[in-house]
């Protein structure tokens, strides 16, 4: 196949000078644009910086950071740079206080998002005429819609299967014979498990490529999924605070995820000193959106740890900087079955329940293919009952409360008072036994 | 009203937990008269009848487990068909809930945890059942 057939957009193949030239111009325009948002205007004024101070890409370092806390403090729409009438779509992501944080998209934002997703899908082998099964949740979560738009843009037909109901997923996979599958890596594992349980022959499927994302996964998982499903897998990255999936994605060569550099300026910083780390060294990704209208984002601290790759060329011909898989977090956020969860949410939930002490321990496992999440909670002696029905009700009530705070089901394991270890410093609230990459 | 005192102990889902409790009592020379164990995948409830529930309760509390004391009805039953059915019939006639029950078979004593001890005690006594106090459980006459 010739090079021009494999690249969706020539913006993916620019020289370093050309890319940086585009980035600096867009960054300057973005700084000018966000002056209309009081949150940014005030911060910029304090530092004494304006659009005229942006002369090179490195000048981004003079700009202040934006954090999840800033988004919460400006809840619901304080970071918006356009009037609400210009917004075509809202999405949201889970927050630590039980309320989501909202993000907004104009018509142009949705157009850009579609384009970004189309680029990585095309790089991974999606083509017009293919059929794609999207087994991501649709809704406030950006995954389903983001991938949907990208596939539509390419001209692949879409089966919006959404998540869950594994039996029906296989009916669709077997009867509509999609070549492409979109889901989380752990859901791919679940599909494999189901396929083996039900003895579904691989020949009854027509899958060629699986686009996996929205949670961290490992090279071991890749080998396993590729072997069992007999597909090529492509990783992709994004976060709803910045836009959603598509900030970067792998091509067929698996050399790292190509960053859409004309749309995003990605820095990799030491999370302690906040100074840049050299390419190849692990740091926190800090992302500035260069093209967004409804909700621009300046130096968003993603808390995702990865490294940038620039020392080798990718055989696909794209010249964009690449990034590694997500290797961890610089805060204590957990990703459980694709949902972001903070231990502090569990703590808040337990503080609402008088029947237990707020001492808890989260234990995560992956016994089969899906994450199992357990919270060990210390009983308060005053609420102990000799009746099993009351104890069961207590457990159910705790599980419901935790679900309302975190959005996911935790199994509650009641334990004795004083049996969870006390720490003098920062409490170790999590034991994560899920497989991870060294 | 006569009642028997039961120790209820919270059991974590952890190997050796029930053993530790029984061992604590055994080492202190406390005899377990009878017991019942209720469990789920996640936790259990161990219910014990011992001669000195207060002493045993304090001992267990000190060892770090959750304990409470509940009053049960202890009914003497004859070894003949239909006796238990009669008890259930009497209780349900007054809408008294039976939460759980277990037996000390050797002495043919049936231990009942009901929603209303007074009402249950009254109707069972009126119907010629013998109910025992905690002390009577341990007397050789019964």
- Mean pLDDT of the region A211-227: 91
Number of folded domains in chain B?
A: 2
Mark which of B27, B45, B70 sits at the end of a domain: B70
Assigned token pair, A166? 């594994």
Pick the closest to residue A63 from A330, A323, A300 (CA basis): A300
Q: With an 8 Å Cβ cutoff, is A415 touching chain B?
A: yes
Q: What is the Cα–Cα distance from A228 to A437, expressed in whole angstroms?
A: 20
| B54: confidence class by pLDDT, cuts 50, 70, 90 | very high
Give CB contacts under 8 A, 24+ apart, made by A356-361: A356/A380, A356/A383, A356/A398, A356/A414, A357/A417, A359/A420, A359/A422, A360/A420, A360/A429, A361/A420, A361/A429, A361/A430, A361/A431
CB contact under 8 A, A388 and B40: yes
Q: What is the Cα–Cα distance from A234 to A249, expressed in whole angstroms?
A: 7
- Measured over the CA atoms of residue B32, residue B35, residue B37 and residue B38, the dihedral's sign is negative
CB contact under 8 A, B43 and A413: yes
The nearest alpha carbon in chain A to B72 belongs to: A386
Q: Is position B91 within any domain?
A: yes
Best mutation target among B43, B68, B69, B71 (most A Cβ atoms within 10 Å) is: B43
Shared-domain flag, residues B41 and B19: yes
Q: Which residues are CB-contacts of A54 (< 8 A; sequence separation ≥ 6)?
A: A24, A27, A28, A31, A60
Pick the closest to residue A321 from A332, A331, A329, A313 (CA basis): A313
Shared-domain flag, residues B48 and B64: yes
Chain A positions in Cβ-Cβ contact with residue B38 (cut-off 8 Å): 388
Question: In this prediction, what percent of chain A has a pLDDT beyond 90?
Answer: 72
Q: Which residues are CB-contacts of B49 (< 8 A; sequence separation ≥ 6)?
A: B4, B5, B6, B7, B32, B33, B34, B35, B104, B111, B137
Shared-domain flag, residues B46 and B80: no
Report the gap between the CA of B66 and the closest CA in chain A (Å).
6
Shared-domain flag, residues B82 and B132: yes
Best mutation target among B39, B42, B49, B58 (most A Cβ atoms within 10 Å) is: B42
- Please say if the pLDDT value at position A2 is more than 50: no
- On the CB side of A16, CA atoms within 13 Å amount to 7
Question: In this prediction, what percent of chain A has a pLDDT beyond 70?
Answer: 96
Instruction: List the single residue in A381, A386, A395 with the smallest CB-CB distance to B45.
Output: A386
Report residue A205: phi and psi, to 5°. -110, 160
Place of tokens 């569990």: A346
Place of tokens 């996979």: A173
Q: With an 8 Å Cβ cutoff, is A422 touching chain B?
A: no
pLDDT at A1: 38
Q: Which helix (H) or strand (E) holds A193?
A: helix A185-197
Domain carrying residue B64: 4-70
Shared-domain flag, residues B39 and B97: no
Q: Is position B115 within any domain?
A: yes
The nearest alpha carbon in chain A to B113 belongs to: A387
**Model pLDDT for residues B64-102, shown as the tens digit of each residue:** 889 999 999 999 998 889 999 999 999 999 999 999 999
CB contact under 8 A, B43 and A392: no
Shared-domain flag, residues B93 and B37: no
Report the gap between the CA of B64 and the closest CA in chain A (Å).
7
Chain A positions in Cβ-Cβ contact with residue B99 (cut-off 8 Å): 387, 389
The nearest alpha carbon in chain B to A375 belongs to: B42
Q: Is position B142 within any domain?
A: no
Assigned token pair, A157? 């037909």
Shared-domain flag, residues B64 and B106: no
Report the gap between the CA of A200 and the closest CA in chain B (Å).
32
| A150: confidence class by pLDDT, cuts 50, 70, 90 | very high
DSSP string, B95-120: T--EEEEEEEGGGTEEEEEES-HHHH
Q: What is the Cα–Cα distance from A386 to A394, expressed in whole angstroms?
A: 12
B49 conformational bin, left if phi > 0, alpha if psi -120 to 50, beta if neither: beta
Of A248-257, A260-269, B10-19, B93-102, minimum mean pLDDT range: B10-19
Strand partners, B45: B10, B38
Q: Is position B62 within any domain?
A: yes
Q: With an 8 Å Cβ cutoff, is A374 touching chain B?
A: no
Q: What is the Cα–Cα distance from A14 to B25, expressed in whole angstroms?
A: 79
Shared-domain flag, residues B60 and B102: no
Question: In this prediction, what percent of chain B has a pLDDT beyond 70?
Answer: 99
Report the gap between the CA of A372 and the closest CA in chain B (Å).
14
Other beta carbons within 10 angstroms of residue A13's beta carbon come to: 16
A119 conformational bin, left if phi > 0, alpha if psi -120 to 50, beta if neither: alpha
CB contact under 8 A, B113 and A386: yes
Pick the closest to residue B114 from B98, B92, B102 (CA basis): B98
CB contact under 8 A, B38 and A388: yes
Q: What is the CATH number of the domain that holds B31?
A: 3.30.2130.10
SS3 state of residue A409: coil
Shared-domain flag, residues B94 and B105: yes
Q: What's the ipTM? A: 0.80
Report the gap between the CA of A322 and the closest CA in chain B (Å).
46
Q: Is position B120 within any domain?
A: yes
Mark which of B20, B53, B70 sits at the end of a domain: B70
Mark which of B36, B70, B104 sits at the end of a domain: B70
Report the gap between the CA of A413 and the closest CA in chain B (Å).
6
Shared-domain flag, residues B66 and B78: no
Shared-domain flag, residues B11 and B43: yes
DSSP string, A39-71: HHHHHHHHHT--GGG--SGGGGGGSPPB-HHHH
Q: Going from the N-terminus, what domains does chain A have, and what CATH number goes with each? A: 3-330 (3.40.50.12780), 339-432 (3.30.300.30)
Shared-domain flag, residues B106 and B133: yes
Q: With an 8 Å Cβ cutoff, is A396 touching chain B?
A: no
């Amino acid at each position: 196949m010739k090079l021009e057939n494999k690249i969706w957009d020539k913006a993916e193949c620019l020289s370093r000078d050309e890319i940086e030239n585009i980035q600096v111009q867009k960054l300057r325009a973005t700084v000018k644009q966000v002056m209309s948002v009081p949150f940014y205007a005030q911060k910029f004024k304090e530092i004494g910086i304006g659009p005229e101070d942006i002369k090179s890409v490195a000048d981004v370092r003079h700009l202040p950071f934006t954090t999840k806390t800033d988004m919460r403090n400006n809840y619901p729409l304080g970071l918006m740079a356009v009037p609400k009438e210009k917004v075509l779509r809202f999405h949201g992501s889970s927050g630590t206080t039980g309320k989501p944080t909202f993000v907004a998209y104009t018509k142009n934002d949705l157009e850009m998002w579609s384009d970004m997703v189309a680029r990585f899908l095309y790089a991974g082998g999606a083509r017009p005429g293919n059929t794609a099964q999207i087994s991501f949740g649709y809704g406030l979560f950006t995954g389903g819609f983001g991938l949907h738009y990208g596939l539509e843009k390419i001209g692949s037909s879409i089966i919006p299967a959404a998540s869950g109901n594994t039996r029906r997923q296989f009916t669709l996979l077997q009867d509509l014979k999609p070549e492409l599958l979109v889901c989380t890596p752990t859901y791919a594992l679940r599909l494999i498990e189901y396929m083996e349980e039900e003895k579904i022959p691989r020949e009854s499927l027509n899958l060629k490529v699986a686009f996996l994302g929205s949670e961290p996964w490992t090279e071991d998982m890749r080998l396993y999924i590729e072997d069992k499903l007999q597909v090529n897998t492509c990783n992709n990255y994004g976060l709803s605070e910045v836009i959603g999936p598509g900030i970067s994605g792998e091509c067929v060569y698996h050399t790292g995820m190509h960053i859409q550099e004309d749309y995003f300026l990605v820095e990799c910083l030491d999370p302690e000193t906040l100074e840049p780390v050299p390419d190849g060294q692990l740091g926190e990704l800090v992302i500035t959106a260069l093209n967004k209208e409804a909700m621009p984002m300046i130096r968003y601290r993603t808390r995702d740890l990865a490294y940038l790759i620039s020392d080798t060329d990718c055989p696909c011909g794209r010249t964009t900087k690449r990034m590694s898989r997500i290797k961890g977090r610089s805060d204590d956020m957990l990703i459980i079955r694709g949902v972001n969860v903070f231990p502090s949410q569990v703590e808040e939930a337990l503080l609402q329940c008088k029947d237990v002490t707020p001492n808890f321990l989260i234990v995560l496992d992956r016994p089969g293919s899906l994450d199992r999440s357990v919270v060990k909670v210390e009983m308060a002696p005053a609420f102990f009952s000799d009746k099993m029905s009351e104890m069961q009700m207590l457990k159910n009530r705790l599980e419901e409360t935790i679900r309302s705070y975190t959005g996911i089901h935790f199994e509650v394991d009641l334990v004795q008072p004083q049996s969870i270890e006390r720490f003098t410093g920062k409490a170790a609230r999590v034991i994560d036994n899920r497989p991870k990459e060294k | 009203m006569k009642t028997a005192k039961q120790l209820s102990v919270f059991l974590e889902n952890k190997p050796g937990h029930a053993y530790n409790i029984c061992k604590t009592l055994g080492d202190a020379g406390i005899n377990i008269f009878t017991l019942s164990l209720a469990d789920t995948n996640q936790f259990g409830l161990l219910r014990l009848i011992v001669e000195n529930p207060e002493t045993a309760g304090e001992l267990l509390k000190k060892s770090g487990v959750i304990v409470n004391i509940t009053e049960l009805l202890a009914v003497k039953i004859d070894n003949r068909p239909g006796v238990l059915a009669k008890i259930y019939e009497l209780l349900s006639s007054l809408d008294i809930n039976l939460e759980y029950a277990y037996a000390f078979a050797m002495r043919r004593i049936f231990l009942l945890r009901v929603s209303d001890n007074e009402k249950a005690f009254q109707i069972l006594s009126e119907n010629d059942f013998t109910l025992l106090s905690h002390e009577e459980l341990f007397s050789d006459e019964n």
